[in-house]
Amino acid sequence: MSSSHSSEQSSEKRPISSHKVIFLGDQSVGKTSIITRFLYGAFDTHYQATIGIDFVAKVITLDDGRMIKLQLWDTAGQERFRSLIPAYLRDTAACVVVFDLSSKESFNSVRSWVDQVRDEKGTNGGVEIVLVGNKADMADLRQVSNEEASALAEELGLKYFETSAKSGIDIDEIFTEIAKSIPEEDPVVGGSNTIKVTSGDELSNAAAKSQSCGC
């Protein structure tokens, strides 16, 4: 009985690998809203732009039992904050480039965001880049087709997701895909495909304070 209890304690203490994920994209495309939906299962209707760079963290448990702590870095999309981004790309495991499906302008910026990552990290710099078209719920206002976005993603060698932070469409899938793409550090067997928030994870200010959700 004691060995069983010991085994349970051992499984609870599986190593958690921590990895940095940075969100990039123009202002108002929904970067903060995607993160908020993933963390709390909620959507904040009050828009306030992110100022500087903030980060939060959440642990994902994959089917193979690996526990991946994703440090989610939320960046401001305004031009004046872009000079901060290269410093925060260091030690980044993955980048999520977000555009607004109802804004052709934000879609046209995708290539420059991807180029910025690759200029900093190199084409084969070990960074997973995921392209996300957000606001899929706004079908009547859509300016970018699935075919057009998918073609760009294929050209740039990216995985593509269409999401809605408002409705929650495919939000978890983005983060699960990122976690799966991270090379395995410690072979672990077992577990279930559940998503858990660690009790100590709190919103932290990285470069400047955020006015919170909506960016």
d(Cα 109, Cα 30) in Å, to the nearest integer? Answer: 15
Q: Read off the pLDDT band of 163 (50, 70, 90).
A: very high
Q: Which of 51-65, 87-101, 190-204 has the lowest mean pLDDT?
A: 190-204
Count of CB atoms within 10 A of residue 17's CB? 18
The pTM (predicted TM-score) of the whole model is 0.76
Decide the pairing of beta strands 16-24 and 67-75: parallel
Task: Of 172, 136, 164, give the one whose Cα is nearest residue 39.
Answer: 172
Residue 137 has pLDDT above 60, yes or no: yes
In the CATH scheme, what is the code of domain 15-205? Answer: 3.40.50.300
Residue 153 has pLDDT above 70, yes or no: yes
Comparing 113 with 50, the larger pLDDT belongs to 113
Torsion over CA: 142, 147, 148, 149 (sign): positive
Stretch 148-173: mean pLDDT, rounded? 96
pLDDT tens-digit readout, 175-206: 999 999 988 754 333 333 333 333 333 333 43
pLDDT tens-digit readout, 2-39: 444 443 444 455 688 899 999 999 999 999 999 999 99
Which tokens is 73 given? Answer: 């870095």
Task: Of 110, 128, 212, 117, give the one whose Cα is nearest residue 175.
Answer: 128
Stretch 116-134: mean pLDDT, rounded? 86
